[in-house]
């Protein structure tokens, strides 16, 4: 099933955005990877053609990257000079992990995504202590001894949304830093990155970018606390005169943590962010949660507050999904579905009708 505009007026931003997608299935798998808007696909296709015919210029990729940096900054509520870019979230988590003092305590949520867990566990040999607690007890477990909390705003496995207000308040009361992974949040859940010391985000899910575009935000007063040990020429104050030789001459702002870009990923990231900005965070949030709750109601489930739903299903569900041409994913032993800008009420109803008979009790 593809998108259906129905009777919505052409001036509706959500309808205009949906018109840029034409999936051949009922696509409920954004939590794995998002679909390319037509404008992003066209931009990447043109860039690939330039690569093929020898007319591409390396410096030409700076403009879409800079546009994506600005677009992401606006989406999460920080200045563009507080945003660094790279290719994956775990690299930025590792940057934070490597800069911790030897006696640091890091608090994490049980079952969280390993890209924001493994970098900290890897530091235990030098004395960093990692303490794991249930997500719903995370804020109350922060103490003055807690150096850092590393947690996802929305859990990848099941879509549980962290209590960000409680987390920010508890961290402020104890002077604890927070590294917040917004990979499963930014793009459908309004995010204010300025409330947290650091945030990381991979852009190939809800931000609809090609894989290879990732973001890192850091509060300006914390810039000098992180050792930019992964930085190369692209982190220079002037990229194109930082290619050869000493001395160290990194950018003064968060660009000092930039990694040399995956060029074509940024060509697609910029127009995808432009599409999402045209809809707006509040409308994206309302749309995703409304459709998820429409599905939940149709499947006989109570309402929730997430764009992601996790279901216990029996063995017949996989074949039913294939036959109905519904795309989802199995995560942590459960079926995970996710609803985004290109989904419709018809998608929610189709999935609910298909899956209702395969749901396990108390699932």
60-88 confidence digits (pLDDT tens): 999 999 999 999 999 999 999 999 999 99
Closest CA relative to residue 147, chosen from 111, 108, 114: 108
**CA atoms within 13 A of residue 64's CA, in its CB half-sphere:** 24
Strand order in 105-109's β-sheet? 83-86, 214-218, 198-202, 177-181, 148-152, 105-109, 129-133
Cβ neighbours, 10 Å, residue 250: 16
- Judging by DSSP bridges, how do beta strands 148-152 and 329-331 pair with one another? unpaired
The DSSP code for 110 is T
Cα distances from 108 to residues 152, 165, 234, in angstroms, run 9, 17, 32
- Judging by DSSP bridges, how do beta strands 334-338 and 308-311 pair with one another? antiparallel
Ramachandran bin of 32, using left for φ above 0, alpha for ψ from -120 to 50, beta for the remaining angles: alpha
End-to-end CA distance of the chain: give it in Å, rounded.
Answer: 26
Per-residue model confidence (pLDDT) at position 10: 53
Q: Does residue 226 contact residue 254 with C-beta atoms inside 8 Å?
A: no
Strand order in 308-311's β-sheet? 308-311, 334-338, 329-331
Cβ neighbours, 10 Å, residue 327: 18
Per-residue model confidence (pLDDT) at position 7: 43
User: 106: which strand partners?
Assistant: 130, 148
Per-residue model confidence (pLDDT) at position 361: 87
Cα distances from 84 to residues 65, 103, 255, 336, 339, in angstroms, run 11, 27, 5, 31, 28
Question: What phi, psi does 334 have (nearest 5°)?
Answer: -130, 160
pLDDT below 50 — which residues of the chain?
A: 1-9
pTM for the model: 0.95
Cα distances from 163 to residues 1, 104, 138, 151, in angstroms, run 35, 24, 9, 11
């Amino acid at each position: 099933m593809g998108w259906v505009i129905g009777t919505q007026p052409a001036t509706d931003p959500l309808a205009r955005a949906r018109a840029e997608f034409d999936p051949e299935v009922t696509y409920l798998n954004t939590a794995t990877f998002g679909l390319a808007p037509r404008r992003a696909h066209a931009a990447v296709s043109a860039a690939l053609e330039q690569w093929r015919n020898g007319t591409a210029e390396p410096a030409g990729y700076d403009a879409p990257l800079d546009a994506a940096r600005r677009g992401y900054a606006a989406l999460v509520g920080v200045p563009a000079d507080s945003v660094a870019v790279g290719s994956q979230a775990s690299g930025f988590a590792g940057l934070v992990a490597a800069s911790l003092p030897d006696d640091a305590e890091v608090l994490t949520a049980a079952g969280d995504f390993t890209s924001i867990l493994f970098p900290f566990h890897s530091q235990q040999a030098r004395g960093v202590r990692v303490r794991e607690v249930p997500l719903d007890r995370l804020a109350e477990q922060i103490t003055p001894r807690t150096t850092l909390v590393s947690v996802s705003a929305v859990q990848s496995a099941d879509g549980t949304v962290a209590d960000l207000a409680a987390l920010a308040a508890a961290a402020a009361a104890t002077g604890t830093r927070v590294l917040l992974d917004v990979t499963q949040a930014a793009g459908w859940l309004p995010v204010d990155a300025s409330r947290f010391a650091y945030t990381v985000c991979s852009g190939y899910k809800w931000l609809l970018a090609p894989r290879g575009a990732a973001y890192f935000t850091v509060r300006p007063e914390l810039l000098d606390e992180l050792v930019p040990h992964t930085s190369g020429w692209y982190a220079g104050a002037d990229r194109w005169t930082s290619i050869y030789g000493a001395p160290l001459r990194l950018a003064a702002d968060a660009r000092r943590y930039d990694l040399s870009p995956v060029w074509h990923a940024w060509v697609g990231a910029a127009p995808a962010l432009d599409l999402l900005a045209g809809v707006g965070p509040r409308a994206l949030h309302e749309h995703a949660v409304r459709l998820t709750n429409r599905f939940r109601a149709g499947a006989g489930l109570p309402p929730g507050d997430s764009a992601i739903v996790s279901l216990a299903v029996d063995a017949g569900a996989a074949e039913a999904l294939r036959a109905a041409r519904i795309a989802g994913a199995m995560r942590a032993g459960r079926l995970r579905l996710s609803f985004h800008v290109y989904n419709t009420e018809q998608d929610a109803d189709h999935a609910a009708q298909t899956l209702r008979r395969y749901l396990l009790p108390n699932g």
